[in-house]
Homo-oligomer: A and B are copies of this chain.
Amino acid sequence: MNFIAGLRSAWKKNDSLLCVGLDPDPERFPASLCERPEAILEFCTAIVDATADLVCAFKPQIAHFAARRAEGALEALIRHIHAAHPGIPVILDAKRGDIGSTARQYAIEAFGRYDADAVTVNPYLGFDAVEPFLAWEGRGVAILCRTSNPGGSEMQFLDVGGEPLYLHLARRVATGWNRGGQCALVVGATYPAEIAAVRAVVGGMPLLVPGVGAQGGDIEATVRAGRSADGTGLVINSSRAILYAGSGEDYAQAARAAALRTREAINRWRRGAPGGMPRA
């Protein structure tokens, strides 16, 4: 799969800009699952199967697996998504970043070992640290631009020649790093004005937007600020608000209901110019 093309198809096929983030936390699993040796894989698989027709992507967060020695579950989960739901891209949220020779190893981890369609990458080491990921033809690289945490401003809002660092970076990615058309940018939903500022400089480039749901980002403001001219361009991630919508044995159905509601809430605001009316 070509990541960007796959994303465009999934936006259309599932009429969805919603990405479900897979951040397994066994303490929040239903009691019956907790005692099972493959609880993490079973939980994530059930969520995936319950929501795959409602999303444009899945985004497993690797730390939640690594902290629990569950790399095997992550491999099996991504294999399952590719086999059971072909056409839905998998974005491995790993926020890797290192100098060239080591970045090549991280690219093997993300694309070779886990077979992700895209990976999140940290830009602090510059373009030559991103290049080894781009060397994997067709794979996507979602570069951290403006993160959704309160302290993100400390670095990302530093003034660089009259504009904040995150916007300077967005411009560099749009005009240089994205030569091969494989890049996306990560821009948190907690700052809609900044999503709009990024959209204004990157054209139609996909924006991966974490922070709706548990982190409090506003869906209307996010979609109005970030939608591209054709009403797509966004990969709006929700993790905890969907994964843990229910805490009982019906957790997968509860997750599906939450995903349905979130997709609809997003779709209400996809059409029209910024500030336009919601679609009927």
Contact = CB atoms under 8 A, between A and B. Distances in A.
Nearest to A105: B63
Interface of A: 23, 61, 63-64, 66-67, 69, 71, 95-100, 102-103, 105-106, 108-109, 112-113, 122-129, 144, 147-156, 158-161, 165, 168-169, 172
A158 B155 CA distance: 12
B168 A152 contact: no
Contact of A102 (B61, B126, B127, B156): B61
Contacts of A158: 158, 160-161, 165, 168
A22 to B, nearest CB: 12
A268 B128 CA distance: 34
A124 B127 contact: no
For chain A, what secondary structure do more than half of its interface residues adopt (helix, strand, loop), or is it mixed? helix
23 contacts: A23-B102, A61-B102, A63-B96, A64-B102, A66-B113, A67-B108, A67-B109, A67-B112, A71-B71, A122-B122, A124-B124, A125-B147, A125-B151, A125-B155, A126-B147, A126-B154, A126-B155, A128-B149, A129-B151, A129-B152, A154-B172, A158-B168, A160-B160
Given A67-B113, A99-B147, A128-B150, 14 more contacts: A61-B105, A66-B71, A95-B97, A99-B148, A99-B152, A124-B144, A124-B155, A125-B144, A125-B152, A126-B147, A155-B169, A158-B158, A159-B160, A160-B165
A30 B122 CA distance: 35
A159 B156 CA distance: 13
B66 A109 contact: yes
Contacts of A152: 99, 125-126, 129
A274 B169 CA distance: 36
Nearest to A215: B99
Contacts of A156: 124, 126
A99 B61 CA distance: 12
Contacts of A169: 155
A144 to B, nearest CB: 6
Nearest to A148: B99
